[in-house]
Amino acid sequence: MALTDFDLVLFGGSGDLSMRKLLPAMYARDVANDLPQTARIICVGRNDISQEEFLQTVESTAKPHVKKLVEEGWAKFVKRIVYVSLNATDAATYPALVEALRNDDKITRVYYLATPPHLFAQICDNLAGAGLATANSRVVLEKPLGRDLESAKQINFEVGKVFAESQIYRIDHYLGKETVQNLLALRFGNILFEPLWRREWISDVQITIAEKIGVGNRMGYYDTSGALRDMLQNHLLQLLCIVAMEPPTSIAPDAVRDAKLQVLRSLKRFTPTTLAQNIVRGQYRAGHVDGKAVPSYRDEPEAPQQSRTETFVAIKAEIDTWRWAGVPFYLRTGKRMADGLAEIVVRFKQIPHSIFNQPTSSFQPNSLVIRLQPDEGLSLNLMAKTPGDSMRLKQAELELDFREQFKTPRMEAYERLLLDVLRGQLTLFMRGDELEAAWEWVEPILDHWDQEDSVPIPYSAGTWGPAAASALIGRDGLQWREEALPED
C-alpha cells in the first residue's frame, strides 16, 4: 500500500535510538522508493544548534549504521531531515515545531517519542496545547512502557487523554522481525500444524533471547530495570502470545490483539510457592565470551557495587486453557550468555513405543525451531534412518533458511514497523489493555523479589546462566535445547 505524504517527528531526534535505528531505517525505505517525494523527518532535540550542525551529527553518528549505503541515495535522504530545537517539557518552545510542520490536513503527522517514558504525558499535553494533536496524527511510544502496572496504567491514561487508542502505537521491535510474522504464516497459513498445536501432542515450548553482550552504555537505565522489565515483560511475552493464541478471525489489528490478550489473561498466576519454584534470577560475574575476558556486572562502568539487578531470568509459565493446560512454557533471557540468539522451540511428545532395535529413550522428540536471530529460519527435527544395512535411526533436520528461500531484500524490524505506523496499520503494536495484562502477570514477581529482598544467583559470563535454570526445567524431565542437542 502506497504511503501518503507525512511529517515524521522524532522526539529524542539526536538520541541513540534515532541515530542507530530510526534514521537508518527511514533511509532504507527511501532508497527502496517507499517514501513520498515531499515526506519529511523532523528531528527534535534540546541542543541549540543549527540545521547544518545537526546534519554533521547525522553524518558522523547515523550514517555508519546504514547498511548498503549509496552516497547518492544518502544525499537525497538527508534533504528530508529538518532539525528543531525545543525543550519537550516546556510548552513555550513548541511554536518552533508548529512553524516547522506543514499546515495541511492531508499530511499525516507521526510523533515518535524516543524519550524516557516519564516524558510521554507532558509531550502529549504540549502537543495538544499547541494544536498539533489532530485527527490525522499518530503517536509512537517506545519502551519501556512503565516500570509496573500502576505506571503502565498512568501512561495509558495520560496519553489517552490526548490521543485515541486507534492513534497510539506501542512499539515492540521484536514484532517487526520477519520470522515473527512468518510464525503467523506458519500457524494460520498451513493446515499441517494446527491439529498438532495443542496439549495432546506438544511436550513443552521454550522461548530464549540470549545476548553475548553486557550492559554497554545503558547502565543508567538497565540497573533500574533488569532483565524482567527490559526483555521478558515485553519481547518474550509477545512471542509467547503469538505461539499460544487461538486462530484470530482475520489479520485485522483488533482480531489479532484480542487473541493475544486472551493468552495474557489465561496465564496462570503465581502463588508464593510457585514464585519460589518456577523463577530463576541471575547476575553475571566475570568470565570469558568468545575467548575474551569480560568483567562482572558489578565491575561494569558506573555499576553500583552492591547491585541486585538481574541480568538473567528464567520462568516456567503455564496457560490455563483447553488447548494448553499442562504444557509448560519456559521463558529465558540473559546477558553475557554463551551465544547470541533468539529462538522458539516447540517440542513434541516422545513416540509411545519403538518398533526398532533401539529403546524409545534413544529417540529425540520431534521439534520445530523458529530462529529469530542471528539467522532467520525454521527447522523441523525428525528421526531418519542412517545410511547402511542396519535400521538405525538418527535425528535429521528439514531446514528452511529465509534468506536462501526468498531472494528479495529483507526489511529490518524498525523499517517494517515504521512503515506500518505511516500506513496506519496497528496489527504489530500492543493495545493498552494488552500492555496492562502483561504487567498484571509480571508484577507479583517484582513484588516477591522486593519482599524477599532476594539476591540474584551469580553465573559466569560465557555460560548459559545459573545451574538453577537447568534444574528448573530438569524437574520436569526436560532440558534446554542446547543441553539436549545430540553430540556429533
Enumerate the active-site residues.
235
- Phi and psi at residue 181, in whole multiples of 5°? -70, -30
Give the max Cα distance, the chain: 84
Please measure the distance between the N-terminal and C-terminal CA atoms of the chain and give it in whole angstroms: 48
Which spans in 138-244 are helix H? 149-160, 178-188, 219-222, 226-227, 237-244
CA angle centred on 20, ends 88 and 224, rounded to 5° = 65
143 annotated as ligand-binding: yes
> Residue 378, exposed/middle/buried by CB under 10 A (0-12, 13-18, 19+)?
buried
Residue 363 CA, chain-centre distance (Å), reads 34
483 annotated as ligand-binding: no
Asked if residue 374 has a cis previous peptide bond (ω within 30° of 0), the answer is yes
Is 411 within 8 Å of 175 (Cβ atoms)? no
Q: Strands 168-170 and 108-113: what pairing?
A: unpaired
- The number of residues making up the chain comes to 488
260 annotated as ligand-binding: no
Q: Give the SS3 label for residue 286.
A: coil
Return the DSSP state at 156: H
Q: How far is residue 284's CA from residue 136's CA, in Å, rounded to a whole number?
A: 47
335 annotated as ligand-binding: yes
Q: Which of 426, 448, 429 is nearest to 148 (CA)?
A: 448
Number of neighbouring beta carbons within 10 Å of residue 476: 12
85, β-bridge pairs: 45
Q: Which three cell numbers stand for residue 417?
A: 514497523
- SS3 letters across 78-108: HCCEEEEECCCCCHHHCHHHHHHCCCCCCCE
Q: Which amino acid is at 218?
A: R
173 annotated as ligand-binding: yes
Q: How far is residue 13's CA from residue 21's CA, in Å, rounded to a whole number?
A: 11
Q: How far is residue 469's CA from residue 72's CA, in Å, rounded to a whole number?
A: 51
416 annotated as ligand-binding: no
Q: Which residues are annotated as a binding site?
A: 46, 143, 173, 177, 211, 230, 335
Q: Which residues are annotated as a binding site for NADP(+)?
A: 46, 143
Q: Which residues are annotated as a binding site for substrate?
A: 173, 177, 211, 230, 335
